[in-house]
Amino acid sequence: MRVHVFDADTFGVGQESLEVAPGEFVAVYGAVRSVVDALRLRHQIGTDLAYGALRHLLGHRRAAAGEVMSTARALRCATPAAEALEVLQA
């Protein structure tokens, strides 16, 4: 089992509330945050998986490149995100 500790200051970035039962909500990370986390952890999960997730996100128009970059900047991984976007747009 691996445990990843996230910075408390960025814990809420990309968090959404999902109603699982009437009046009961659970906090989950949205698609953009999940993909940016994959880019951040690409050295552990593999570049193919991280780039594939980004390709899927953009290809299904669930997010725009600007949203990805905004979230990546908030999570201090703008450079890997920009590089991935450049590779996919080439």
Residue 59 neighbours by CB under 8 Å, 6+ apart: none
Rounded distance between C-alpha atoms, residue 71 and residue 62, angstroms:
14
Q: What does the block give as tokens for 62? A: 């669930």
Rounded distance between C-alpha atoms, residue 86 and residue 63, angstroms:
16
Please report, for the chain, the start and end positions of each structural domain, with discontinuous segments joined by +.
Answer: 16-89
Is the pLDDT at 3 greater than 90? The verdict is no
Give residue-wise pLDDT tens across range 25-73.
Answer: 999 999 999 999 999 999 999 999 999 999 999 998 878 999 999 999 9
Question: In the prediction, which pLDDT does 7 show?
Answer: 86
